[in-house]
Amino acid sequence: MTIYLHQHDLPDDLAFGGSVAIDTETMGLNLTRDRLCLVQLSFGNGDAHLVQFPVGSDYSSPNLRRLLQDSSIPKLFHFARFDIASIKAYMGVTCTPVYCTKMASRLVRTFTDRHSLKELCKELLGVELSKQHQSSDWGQSVLTEEQKIYAANDVLYLHKLRDQLDVMLEREGRKDLAQACFDFLPARAELDLTGWPEIDIFAHNS
């Protein structure tokens, strides 16, 4: 594994892969208060690229934007709803098309209520992930080596998880349903950003 740390944007000469795994780190979980600090990416080749946004960043990032807006490159997330909303809030970009390993797991692994990235990596890939730095100060100017490794691990296994989950979705006849859910995710993220974060608009109760 090689971890590349970039400031503000991806390098001009970075070749994009056929699909990209993406995660974000923010100052907290409030999308309108807690700024976007880091975007992590992996093209499934065992390397991770971390794009750091210091205080005062304008998030212009033309190369990263080009990747996020490329409709020919699938974007893989774990709990895509939050990451898509964070990227939209701070970069003004809508990520499409998207795939969410957490949502896929919930659709097909109905024998358990454990759908965290840590649990999926352990059960499907035999990989033990440390979540020690999950609550960490991602806004500091210099990231620790432990933070970099933690951030990289959040994207390094998403391609393999997608492959495993796709087999299960196909087996259970839920692949089309999963795709319909993935297609709705940008709209769900927009609802989060515009005032409906905890309201189920499909529910019968008022």
CATH number for the domain spanning 173: value is: 3.30.420.10
In a domain, 205, yes or no: no
User: What is the reported pLDDT for 135?
Assistant: 72
User: What is the reported pLDDT for 148?
Assistant: 96
In a domain, 46, yes or no: yes
In a domain, 198, yes or no: no
| Number of compact structural domains in the chain | 1
pTM beyond cutoff 0.85: yes
Q: Which two tokens stand for residue 190?
A: 């927009």
In a domain, 202, yes or no: no
Q: What is the rounded distance in angstroms from the CA atom of residue 125 to the CA atom of residue 193? A: 34
User: What is the reported pLDDT for 1?
Assistant: 82
The domain containing residue 143 runs over which residues? 2-193
Q: With contact defined as beta carbons under 8 Å apart, do 65 and 11 qualify?
A: no
User: What is the reported pLDDT for 205?
Assistant: 81
pLDDT below 50 — which residues of the chain?
none
